[in-house]
Homo-oligomer: A and B are copies of this chain.
Amino acid sequence: MAEDTRDRVLAAVRELDYRPNRAASSLRRGRTGVIALVVPDIENPYFASLIKGAQASSRARGYGLVVIDTTEQADVEAEEVAALRSQIDGIILASSRLPDARLAEAVAGLRCVLINRDPAGAGVVAPTVTIDERSGGNDAVRHLYGQGHRRIAYVGGPARSWSQSRRLEGIRNAAASLEGVALLEVGSFAPDADGGRAAAELALADRPTAVIAYNDLVALGLLAQWSERGLRVPEDISLVGFDNTFVAELSSPRLTSVGADLRAFGELAVELLLERIDSRETVDAAPHRVLTPRLVVRDSTAAPRGLH
């Protein structure tokens, strides 16, 4: 096409304020230019950051992003994915609550990327983005160990949770490989501030000098409850959270937390998905990308009492 013809067309476009009709275009091309991101809870700071990254990335690449909040319900998730099927070019499932079989069924024939989920069991061939939670657990323990802590408690999250089991693994491994560390595992608690409050007593039962919480919200719950009974952090006890969400910056003291860059996490998922979409042929090699979390030391960890 010649230069001046293009210019003439573009001039007309501006002249008439012409905007292509997406519906017609989608109909004809069989592509909608929209991808979906499904999360269990938009309000959760973890997913909020994830969404933020995904949004930025898809926007930059000219795709629309529609975010679905399943309110933690597997049924809603399945339903929404089914409903979206024809309206999107691909879908990202973050921390899917669907059991393997239903997950496989839900995404069958759909271009899809899984976040925080190992599809191996599910018989799904899909790219994956995960965080090396074991490494994170390991880092947390080693950090505390380095400060002199030997009695470390872990306040666990939901028993079935993928992250929970991985984090626990990493923590156990680190504790086992370090000299003289006693690991005190404390039950299973809801992954929110109330869970943390509920765990506050039990976490102290075996007199740890440091506590690792399943996530930042649990850590904040512990902090709040301890503060009421006069326990000071980090003077009396050290505390480490997981996920490194923005709430870690809000507490007093600021929370030491280990987590990956969640925005980058979301961006990566989008990139992987668009890559899949743009390569027309169905690729059978499904890349598994793993992000390494980083321990961010803030003010909630210090040497234990005896070592001051």
Residues on A lying within 8 angstroms of B by beta carbon are: 19-24, 26-27, 32, 42-43, 45, 48-49, 51-52, 55-56, 64-69, 71, 85-87, 193, 217, 220-221, 223-225, 227-228, 246-247, 249-254
Contacts and interface: CB of A to CB of B under 8 A. Distances in A.
Given A27-B21, A48-B43, A49-B43, A224 B246 contact: no
B23 A250 contact: no
Contacts of A252: 223-225, 227-228, 251-252
A290 to B, nearest CB: 24
Contacts of A20: 86
B32 A42 contact: no
A67 to B, nearest CB: 5
A229 B69 CA distance: 41
A48 B56 contact: no
A221 B55 CA distance: 28
B27 A23 contact: yes
Contacts of A193: 249-250
A254 to B, nearest CB: 7
Contacts of A69: 51-52, 55-56
10 contacts: A21-B27, A51-B69, A55-B68, A64-B87, A220-B250, A224-B250, A224-B253, A227-B252, A250-B250, A251-B252
A168 to B, nearest CB: 24
Most buried by B among A27, A43, A66, A85: A43
A254 B55 CA distance: 32
Contact of A27 (B27, B86, B223): B27
Most buried by B among A20, A247, A250: A250
B52 A19 contact: no
Given A64-B66, A86-B21, A253-B227, A43 B42 contact: no
